[in-house]
Amino acid sequence: MPGAGAQTATESISAEDQELYRLERVTSPVPTDRNTVPHAQGVRRVWGVSTEPAFIENLYANPAAADAWRSTSGLFGGLIFASNEIDALKVHAEVEQDALPADTWAQAYFGSNYAGGYLLGPELHLLCACDVRGASDALRADDSVKPYVIDHTVFEQVQYSLADLSQLGQEIRRFLDESDLRSNGYGTTIEANVVELFVGPQSTAGLEQEVANRFAGRPVRVTAQPEDVAPTVSKTEPLIFNLVEGGQAMDNSSTGLPLDCTSGFAVQGGYGPFILSAGHCGYAGNSWYQGGSQVGVQTSRNFGGYFDGSLITTYGYRNNYGHFHWNANYYGESISFVQNSNNIVGQSICQTGYKQTGLDGFNTTCGTTTQNNYTPPYGDTPFQPVMLLSNYGTIGGDSGAAVVWPTALYGWGAVGVHSGGNSTVGVDSRLDYILWIWGIQLTPP
């Protein structure tokens, strides 16, 4: 019987490695589709092994002859690999295992100039928009990072910090939203030190040129993709895991209409989870639906005084998701903070009502808040002069919608619940008042 680490004539990978990485031979051909090889190439590049298409195809088609293996635990990126690639994979895996302390160290050491880190083959690359001379010695002096990782760390000087690229990403996103341009989404590509915008067949024609014009001289790269890989979800479609969130079109089954109002925010309190919407949209006991399944039953209605709000208990029906539907591309936006509406006047806020913004949400509807002491001319009882008035338009169906404040630095702020208005003004209840008076809080993202 061979000892640990020994190899027999029939075992091309040691028994120790087989056990440690839970490896098994692949003996039968593995079905592939047109995405298999491109996907494998991408993963293999990162792991530092061959990206040759013919080699990869042979591993799948003739695994026994190619001496193909894989980890039953999904290690090594789930790759099917040849036995002679195991050493390269192990190096990458071990660097990856202990890379986090080095990356954390780099963030602290480089501060606001930190430009990210990435693994490629056997190396950990740490980037800075600064002079990186001396960084390697400084890292070596840090006890929290294993010497093995330090030996495989490469420092790179780049032009843009991660904060620069994040800021640029927000600008691109606003540009796309405000210009109603459709894309496959964008992301920061650390390795290339750029923001990468992806376009597919259904993306807006001429988008590449539009972006080139708008962001000339900025680190933006447009990459064409063969498919529209970014899934779109409308405000009437259900989310996975039976989730329900703000900004979705809802149906009150008591009215006979297909859609009645828009959801505000996912909230929770001592009585459990709720979806917050507008009070005038329904009455206690009404059943509400979204995406073909029940959101829950309305338990509360307040239409006058300090706010126009309702609570729909989702307990036993849906899972509360502390996010909101901005548009069909960004339908799981997280909320960073609840805005204190005492100082919201003069700020630009946006409503997410399904009617005005459209079921895809692409008709972005924002305006400036002009009053935080407005009294609307309606209500079961007179309103106190505490409502928000803004100069954005609204149509029937928007009521209850999440009203949010987009900020470049801090993300989305939750401002209010849409109540009413007309084609030129919007009226909202202050979210901070509703949360305070009803003793509830936003469901954490």
295 is a contact residue toward another protein (CB under 8 A): no
275 is a contact residue toward another protein (CB under 8 A): no
Q: How far is the CB of 282 from another protein (least distance, A)?
A: 8
Rounded distance between C-alpha atoms, residue 37 and residue 112, angstroms? 38
281 is a contact residue toward another protein (CB under 8 A): yes
256 is a contact residue toward another protein (CB under 8 A): yes
Q: How far is the CB of 358 from another protein (least distance, A)?
A: 14
Q: Dump the DSSP string for 279-307.
A: GGG--TT-EEEETTEEEEEEEEEEEEBTE
Question: Candidates 32-40, 109-117, 130-138, 424-432 — which segment interacts with another protein by CB under 8 A?
Answer: 424-432
Are 136 and 160 in contact, with CB atoms under 8 Å apart?
A: no
Q: Which residues pair with 374 in a beta bridge?
A: 387
CA 17, distance to chain mean position in Å, is 37
378 is a contact residue toward another protein (CB under 8 A): yes
Q: Dump the DSSP string for 73-87.
A: T--GGG--EEGGGHH
Q: How far is the CB of 382 from another protein (least distance, A)?
A: 6
Q: How far is the CB of 353 from another protein (least distance, A)?
A: 7
Number of residues that bind another protein (CB under 8 A): 35
368 is a contact residue toward another protein (CB under 8 A): no
Rounded distance between C-alpha atoms, residue 155 and residue 139, angstroms? 10
Q: How far is the CB of 260 from another protein (least distance, A)?
A: 5
- Whichever of 249 and 344 has its CB closer to another protein, that residue is 249
285 is a contact residue toward another protein (CB under 8 A): no
- Whichever of 115 and 276 has its CB closer to another protein, that residue is 276
Q: How many residues does the chain have?
A: 445
Q: How far is the CB of 31 from another protein (least distance, A)?
A: 48
Q: State which of positions 379-408 bind another protein (CB under 8 A).
A: 379, 382, 389, 394-400
**Six-digit token string for 248:** 């979705």
> 154-193 mask for another protein (x: CB under 8 A)?
----------------------------------------
Question: Candidates 16-24, 203-211, 234-242, 420-428 — which segment interacts with another protein by CB under 8 A?
Answer: 420-428
Contacts of 176 (CB under 8 A, 6+ apart): 182, 183, 186
Are 125 and 105 in contact, with CB atoms under 8 Å apart?
A: no
- Whichever of 329 and 399 has its CB closer to another protein, that residue is 399
**Six-digit token string for 121:** 């083959």
Rounded distance between C-alpha atoms, residue 56 and residue 66, angstroms? 10
428 is a contact residue toward another protein (CB under 8 A): no
Q: Dump the DSSP string for 95-135.
A: HHHTHHHHHHHHHHHHGGGEEEEEEETTEEEEEESS--TTH
- Among 201, 197, 204, residue whose Cα is nearest residue 223: 197
425 is a contact residue toward another protein (CB under 8 A): yes
**Six-digit token string for 441:** 């809080």
Of the residues 219, 361, 376, 406, which one makes contact with another protein according to CB under 8 A: 376
Which parts of this chain interact with another protein (CB under 8 A)?
255-257, 259-261, 278, 280-281, 308, 353, 355, 370, 375-379, 382, 389, 394-400, 418-422, 424-425, 427
